[in-house]
Amino acid sequence: MSQAVLANERPFGWTQRLICLYGIVWREGLRFLHQRERFISALVRPMVWLFIFAAGFRQTLGVSIMPPYDTYVLYEVYITPGLIAMIQLFNGMQSSLSMVYDREVGSMRMLLVSPAPRWFLLTSKLIAGVAVSILQVYAFLVVAYFWEIEPPTWWGYLTILPALALSGLMLGALGMLLSSVIKQLENFAGVMNFVIFPMFFASSALYPLWRVQQGSPWLATVCRLNPFTYSVELIRFAFYQQVDWLSLAVVLGCTVAFLGGAIIAYDPARGMLMRRGG
Amino acid sequence: MTTVVEATAKATVSALSVENVSHAYGARIALDEVSFDVAPSSFTVLLGLNGAGKSTLFSVITHLYVSRSGVVRIFGHDVARESGAALAALGVVFQQRTLDPDLSVAQNLAYHGALHGLGRRETRARGAIQLTRVGLADRTKDKVRFLSGGQMRRVEIARALLHRPRMLLLDEPTAGLDIKARAGILEVVRGLVADEGIGVLWATHLVDEIRDEDHVVVLHKSRVLADGPSRSIISAAGARSIGEAFTSLTGGGEGGEG
C-alpha cells in the first residue's frame, strides 16, 4: 500500500481491519437472524436424519466399541458428529452459493471495493460464515441433548468448539473455492448432487470406516480420501474431549489449500473473474 | 476516430485517469486502448450502449480484476498497485441494487462504514449528514425493502459518500427509475460536483441526462470515439444535439434507446 496517502485519507491499518472484520461478521449475523427459513431448515435437516433415519436403522446397524467410544453406542450417538459436520457442509455450500449470487446482485462487489486487502476480505467473509454455522450446530446440540445424545461430560460442549471452527473453515473455504469456479447460480440442486451428497455419503458420517471396508474396499478408499471424513472424525473425538491428530492435520492442510486456492481465484490480477468478466 | 481533447484539465492531478486500458475475454475484445480523464469537480458522462464495454471498464476501475494492459489511477494512485489508497478515494454506485433489503437503512450504512474502517459513532454521524443531503433523514430506521427504487438509489449514493471519496463512480444509476426519481438523482449528484468538488463519472445510455457543459466520453464497441465537452462533440460532429452526434459517431440509428 502506498505511503503517499493524501491528507484526508487514513492508511488502512489493523484497527480499520478489525472494524472491517467485525462489520462483516455482524452483517452475516443480522442476515442470519432475518432469514428464519434458513435457520429452521438448517435445524430440521439433521433432525430428520436423527429422528427418522437413525431411529429406523437403530436395530440394523449396531456399532461396536471403537475409539473414542468406550462402550457400545446407539446409532444415533454414532451419526451425531456426522450430522454436525453436515450442518457445516450445507452452511459452507450455501454461503458459497450466496457468494455467487452476491456477485451477481452486486453486494460481493460492494465488499470487494473496500480498501482492505482482498485476502483479508475473503477470510473475514469466511469467518462470518463459520460463526453462523457454529450457532446452528449448538442449536442442534440442544435438540440432541433432549434426545439423550450428550458428551461424557459437559466439557465436551467446550472442546467441540475449536473442532467446529476448524471444520467450518475448511468446508467454508471449499465453498468459496467452488464459488469462484461456478459460473452461474443455476440452483442448489447441482451442488447437492455433485458436492454435498458424494461428500456426505462417501465418508464416515453414517458408518464407521471399518464396516465400509468389509463391504466395499474401494468405497473405503474413497472415504479415506474425502476431507469431509476428517471433519467428522475431528468433531467426533473433540466431542469426547480427545484429539484425533490425523484428522486435525488433514483438516488444517485442506483449509490452507482451499483458502489459498480461493484467494488466488479471487485475485484481481490472476483470478477466474477476469477471464470471464464476472 | 474523432478525438476532442480538452487541454485545460491537464493542469491538476486527475480524479480518475484511464490510460491505454485494453482487456479481452479470450478472443473477445472488451476494451481497446481506452483512455480518458475525469477532472476533480467535473461531471463526466460515459456514454455508450449496452455491450460497449462499460461493465468491463467499471470492473477494472473498481479493481474487481486488473486489465490486460494499461493503467487506471485514482488521484494518482494506481488501482492495480496501490489498490487500498485508490479505493479509499473512490465511491461507487453499482447498477445492480446492492443494499440488503431485510436490513434497515442505518444498518446498511453501518456495514459499509465498517468495510471502510469507520467506527460506529463516526459512521452514524456521517450517515446522518449524507442522508439529509439526499433527503432521507427521516427513513434511517426503515427497512430498505419498504423504500421506493429512487429512494434506494439515494441511499446508495449516501452510502457511497460515507468514507468521503473525492471521486464517485455511478453505473447507470437511473436505470429503471421514473422521470421524477431520475431528475432527483441527477440533481443530488450534480450538487456534489458543484458543492463538494467531487469528480463524477456517470455511465449511461440516455442522452437526455447530458447537459451542454458536461464532459462526455463516447464508448462504442470497446473504443473511445469521442472525448470532450458535450458542446464540442456536438459541433465537431456537425450535429444539433448530443443524441444526433452520438448517432452519427456510432454510424447507426440505434442510439439512446430505453
Closest CA to B165 of B216, B215, B120, B126: B126
Tell me, what CATH number does B97's domain have?
3.40.50.300
Q: Long-range contacts: B131-139, Cβ < 8 Å, 24+? A: B131/B105, B131/B155, B131/B158, B133/B158, B133/B161, B133/B188, B133/B191, B134/B158, B134/B188, B135/B184, B135/B188, B136/B105, B139/B105
Report if residue B53 sits inside a domain. yes
Question: Is A3's Cβ below 8 Å from some Cβ in B?
Answer: no
Report if residue B36 sits inside a domain. yes
**What would the pLDDT profile of A35-74 be if each residue is shown by its tens digit?**
888 888 889 999 999 988 888 887 766 677 888 998 888 8
* Average pLDDT of chain B, as a whole number: 90
Q: Are residues B104 and B227 both part of a single domain?
A: no
Report if residue B6 sits inside a domain. yes
Report if residue B187 sits inside a domain. yes
Res A145: pLDDT: 95
Res A36: pLDDT: 82
A-chain CB neighbours of B111 within 8 Å are 23-24, 26-27
Asked if pLDDT for residue A126 goes beyond 50, the answer is: yes
Q: Are residues B183 and B159 both part of a single domain?
A: no
Q: Are residues B133 and B252 both part of a single domain?
A: no
Nearest residue on chain A to B115, judged by CA atoms?
A: A20
State whether A269 and B66 contact (CB < 8 Å). Answer: yes
Q: What is the ipTM, given to two decimal places?
A: 0.86
Res B40: pLDDT: 95
pLDDT beneath 70: ranges in chain B: 1-11, 252-258
pLDDT category of residue A109 using cuts at 50, 70 and 90: confident
Asked if pLDDT for residue A275 goes beyond 60, the answer is: no
Structural domain spans, chain A: 14-276
State whether A115 and B59 contact (CB < 8 Å). Answer: no
Q: Are residues B213 and B103 both part of a single domain?
A: no
The sheet with strand B16-25 has its strands ordered as B28-38, B16-25, B69-74, B77-78
Mean pLDDT (whole number) for A190-204:
88
Residue partners of B9: CB distance under 8 A and separation at least 6: B37, B39, B42, B215
Res A41: pLDDT: 87
Q: Are residues B247 and B129 both part of a single domain?
A: no
Q: Are residues B160 and B174 both part of a single domain?
A: no
Q: Are residues B230 and B126 both part of a single domain?
A: no
Q: Are residues B66 and B139 both part of a single domain?
A: no
Res B252: pLDDT: 67
State whether B84 and A104 contact (CB < 8 Å). Answer: no
Residue type, A13: G
Closest CA to B16 of B95, B71, B84: B71
Res A129: pLDDT: 92
Asked if pLDDT for residue A94 goes beyond 90, the answer is: no
**Which is more confidently placed, A32 or A131?**
A131
Domain that holds residue B112: 90-164
Q: Are residues B152 and B232 both part of a single domain?
A: no
Mean pLDDT (whole number) for A134-140:
96
Res A8: pLDDT: 43
Cell of B256: 439512446
Task: Kindly state the DSSP code that residue B14 receives in the 8-state scheme.
Answer: P
Domain stops at, among B145, B164, B183: B164
* Average pLDDT of chain A, as a whole number: 86
Rounded to 5 degrees, what are φ and ψ at A235? -70, -40
State whether A269 and B80 contact (CB < 8 Å). Answer: yes
Res A270: pLDDT: 73
Q: Are residues B15 and B44 both part of a single domain?
A: yes
Report if residue B84 sits inside a domain. no
Residue partners of B41: CB distance under 8 A and separation at least 6: B193, B194, B197, B198, B199
Radius of gyration of chain B from Cα atoms? 18
State whether A27 and B116 contact (CB < 8 Å). Answer: no
Question: Is A33's Cβ below 8 Å from some Cβ in B?
Answer: no
With 0-12 / 13-18 / 19 or more C-beta atoms within 10 angstroms meaning exposed / middle / buried, residue A194 is exposed
Q: What's the CA gap between A212 and A227, in Å, rounded?
A: 16
Number of structural domains chain B divides into: 2
Q: Are residues B141 and B195 both part of a single domain?
A: no
Res A102: pLDDT: 65
Res A97: pLDDT: 73
